[in-house]
Amino acid sequence: MRRRIRELILSEGIAQVQLSDGLINDLIDCGHIVSLKAGQPLVKVGDVNPDFYILIDGIIRSWYVLDNVEVTTAFGIAGTQILNYASYTAGQPSESNFEACTKCKLMRVPKEDYDRMLHTSLEFCNWRLRLAYDQFYFTEMRNQVIKGDARQRYAALLQSRPEIVQKVTLKIIATYLGITPQYLSHLRNTL
């Protein structure tokens, strides 16, 4: 398990800013394994969960409800780092749900340990900052993808993250694309 987590930490991010072996070991030593079943929440709207997570296996999504309609804002795959910024930075309740789409295994690092590493290691701080920049980049890229029509958005998801299309239910994918499951089924049959 340590080896798998190590590989995920080293491969995460566009620039792949490397952490030293010592810091990787410190991070893993602070972690606790959390297992979720498909459909099980990691964080619910209204929860205060300031802890840091690394998704080891599975697919997770972030979502909320707007006008009685589910809106999936992001998917995470192995290597994705999860931090509820409202809870972490301000102690505020989450405005999003984080939910397992498939069986998931995550490493949870308590906020206190995460903060200690940020405050005592410039290397760790720079690594995390680089990953935050990557998250902004991926948000911009997602915004580019969602500008197209439903067919273009689905094709982009299929090309960039085929494992999501293969393993996540049509209903959830439809909430990400902003269409009905019926229309998504029609799109899949025409591509």
- Segment 124-153, tens digit of pLDDT: 999 888 888 888 887 787 776 667 788 888
In single-letter form, the type of residue at position 136 comes to F
Residue 145's pLDDT is 62
Q: What's the pLDDT tens digit per position in 6-57? A: 888 877 655 556 788 999 999 999 999 999 999 999 999 999 999 999 999 9
What confidence score (pLDDT) does residue 107 get? 98
* pLDDT confidence tier of residue 66, bands split at 50, 70 and 90: very high
User: CA of 149: how far to CAs of 28, 156, 176, 179, in Å?
Assistant: 42, 11, 13, 10
Sketch the domain layout of the chain as residue ranges: 2-145
pLDDT at site 11: 77
Nearest 5°: phi and psi at 185? -60, -40
pTM of the model: 0.90
Q: Distance from first CA to last CA of the chain, Å, rounded?
A: 39
Q: What percent of the chain has a predicted confidence (pLDDT) above 90?
A: 67
pLDDT digits (tens, 9 = 90+) for 95-113: 999 999 999 999 999 999 9
Edge-to-edge, what's the strand order for the sheet holding 52-57?
32-36, 104-109, 52-57, 81-83
Q: Which fold has domain 2-145?
A: Jelly Rolls (2.60.120)
What residue has token string 């049509």? 170
**What is the Cα–Cα distance from 145 to 177, expressed in whole angstroms?**
10
